[in-house]
Amino acid sequence: MNGLMMDQPLLISTLLRHAERHHGTQEVVSRRVEGDIHRCTYVELAARSRRMARAMAALGVAAGQRVGTLAWNGYRHLELYYAVSGSGAVLHTLNPRLHADQLAWIADHAEDQVLCFDKTFLPLVESVAQRLTTVRHFVLMVDHDHMPASTAIPGLLCYEDLIDGQADDGFEWPAFDENTASSLCYTSGTTGHPKGVLYSHRSTVLHTFASALPDALNLGARDVILPVVPMFHVNAWGLPYSACMVGAKLVLPGPGLGGKSLHELFETEGVTLSAGVPTVWQGLLAHVQSQGLTFSTMRRTVIGGSACPPAMMEAFEDTHGVQVIHAWGMTELSPIGTVGILKGHQQDLPREQRRTIQAKQGRGVFGIDMKIVGDDGEELPWDGRASGELLVRGAWVVDRYLKADHDGQPGPLVHRNGQGWFPTGDVATVDADGFMQITDRAKDVIKSGGEWIGSIDLENIAMAHPAVAMAACIAARHPKWDERPLLVVVRKPDASLERDELLAFFEGKIAKWWTPDDVVFVDAIPLGATGKMLKNRLREQHGGHLLHKD
Ligand code: ADP
């Protein structure tokens, strides 16, 4: 027997409609690429989103088609979040920090029809425009006066002209099945090409509910939220959606991610909550400390993407009175999986013990189930000691990657043990209170300042050098970037090759920041039974290499 309740699909457009009707005068403040500060209300943002939705339809974007963005955190990007997904098309946020070749590959793979981008990225888009096989329209996210006098992009469109060309009256967001695709992010997986994670309206709205809970990010209408985490990095951890759900003021920092620029915004806009990877906070804390500044309104900051160093937690909490919310997530999880808020009986523990718990990655939020398994797939106990691969499942966890079947990747990837669990590639313990702690990573990727560097790509380049017999690229711990790529190389017999020559060989083949920091030459690389390089062993041997340099 069915329940007798209204059947209302969980759609992203409902978040914006709610913000408009219930928090209409709440502000969205953006630092623009143009250099100034822009302010609007949710009422204005909603109206402009509807006009942009009409403009996209006029460009021929149909339901299910992808619209790419290359943009900072700003109100126009936010309008696209709602205009594109709200219409039933798919918002594909591209990461502008990737190399042009990778971007072109990803845009082609996603079959993006339209590409909207900030002026910062005009040279980048000019360099790839000719190569993109599916993009029919390029949209520069500026007003008419900021359009370039000339450009290599034929028929370049102006964002504000598109909005001006449409009326707002009579527009209704379409209703459709909540399982319809809404947005798309690519992640540099462990092997081969980047992989597309295609979120749905349902998964996004459920993730939004969960992320706002008191023991998750604890969001409310009194909050002023400044997401430092980019809107091209797993939807800024869902904050563009959750801010609308709870009616919070949003402050979007645009390209101004330096300590000074961020601190100014925190203070002038009264920011209460922020979110970002540890590397960003290092820059901010250094600035605040060197200038003798304080945080007069900020109460909480979400830190995730990489482990939050204990010293950072101390600086925020003890020196500045800012609570650190340590969170763990993945692109494949939309991204929130666990959050490290203490339980009642832990709150009065001695400081050191509390810190030990807070250094863990946290407890699963409702909607995410997790378990750790040993090599044989057997579930391990939650005793804080047994360590195994972390598997998760839930309503906002990927089931399979976009076009996985075409790419020769495993189709449904979660059905390990026939039970529908997604293997995260993280190795973890879980304690009796349900706090998960990452102890190692089984996947061969490097996370530098919160962004992935694909080790396979770097190895392939190194192996193409005529003097290299074998090359492994591993994550070495780094004081600023958390991890940086380190090459471990076996030279060919009788070949001579030195560090600088090999590093110069990477020039032009990858984004500059992907270049390995150093090379260690060895006689042999340890191999496993199936001939795979034992990267865990290499990480044990050389993972500390960069910490001792400089
Ligand atoms: P995000 O950076 O938003 O978390 P990604 O998909 O880029 O998403 O990266 C996910 C991976 O990053 C995780 O599988 C894990 O290895 C690492 N990671 C994320 N959060 C943390 C954290 N708090 N501590 C340690 N590692 C983390």
**CATH (domain of 474):** 3.30.300.30
Report, as residue numbers or ranges, the catalytic residues.
187, 332, 447, 452
HSE, side-chain direction, 13 A CA sphere, residue 343 = 11
Q: Is residue 86 part of a domain?
A: yes
The percentage of residues in the chain with a pLDDT greater than 70, rounded to a whole number, is: 95
Given a cut of 70, whether residue 409 has pLDDT beyond it is no
Residue with the smallest CA separation from ligand 1 atom 12 is 305
Tokens representing 39?
Answer: 């302010």
Q: Is residue 477 part of a domain?
A: yes
- C-alpha distances in Å from residue 481, one per residue of 4, 237, 447, 508, 546: 54, 20, 8, 22, 11
Tokens representing 415?
Answer: 């059905």
Q: Rounded to a whole number, what is the distance in angstroms from the first to the last CA of the chain? A: 69
Reference 394, options 369, 417, 375; nearest CA is 369
DSSP for residue 137: E
Q: Is residue 340 part of a domain?
A: no
C-beta neighbour count of 550 within 10 angstroms: 7
Residue with the smallest CA separation from ligand 1 atom 4 is 305
pLDDT (average), residues 324-332: 97
DSSP for residue 193: S
- Would you state the pLDDT for residue 112? 98
Q: Is residue 160 part of a domain?
A: yes
Q: Pairing relation of β-strands 300-304 and 422-430? A: unpaired
- Would you state the pLDDT for residue 527? 82
Domain limit, last residue, from 219, 253, 287: 253
pLDDT (average), residues 382-397: 95
Tokens representing 275?
Answer: 């979110």
State the total domains in the chain: 2
pLDDT tens digits along 85-117: 999 999 999 999 998 999 999 999 999 999 999
Cβ 330 under 6 angstroms from ligand 1 = yes
List of E strands, 159-299? 181-187, 195-200, 224-227, 249-252, 273-276
Domain that residue 181 falls in: 8-253
Ligand 1 center from residue 83 Cα (angstroms):
29
Cβ 426 under 6 angstroms from ligand 1 = yes
Q: Is residue 462 part of a domain?
A: yes
Q: Is residue 291 part of a domain?
A: no
Cβ 187 under 6 angstroms from ligand 1 = yes
Domain limit, last residue, from 209, 231, 253: 253
Tokens representing 360?
Answer: 């863990």
**Residue 59 belongs to domain with CATH number:** 3.40.50.12780
Q: Is residue 474 part of a domain?
A: yes
User: Which ligand 1 atom is the nearest neighbour of the CA of 441?
Assistant: 16
Cβ 304 under 6 angstroms from ligand 1 = yes
Q: Specify the DSSP element, H or E, that contains 520.
A: strand 518-521
Reference 239, options 229, 444, 457; nearest CA is 229
Lowest mean pLDDT of 169-173, 254-258, 276-280, 427-431, name the range: 276-280
Map residue 245 onto helix, strand or coil: helix
Ligand 1 center from residue 543 Cα (angstroms):
18
Cβ 279 under 6 angstroms from ligand 1 = no
Given a cut of 90, whether residue 454 has pLDDT beyond it is no
Tokens representing 548?
Answer: 């001792």
Q: Is residue 43 part of a domain?
A: yes
pLDDT (average), residues 532-544: 86
Reference 392, options 375, 362, 369; nearest CA is 369
Type of residue found at 192: G
Given a cut of 80, whether residue 118 has pLDDT beyond it is yes
Ligand 1 center from residue 278 Cα (angstroms):
11
Domain limit, last residue, from 253, 283, 316: 253
| Rounded Cα distance, 158 and 30, in Å | 19
Helix axes 12-22, 201-212, angle to 10 degrees: 50
Higher pLDDT, 326 or 191: 326
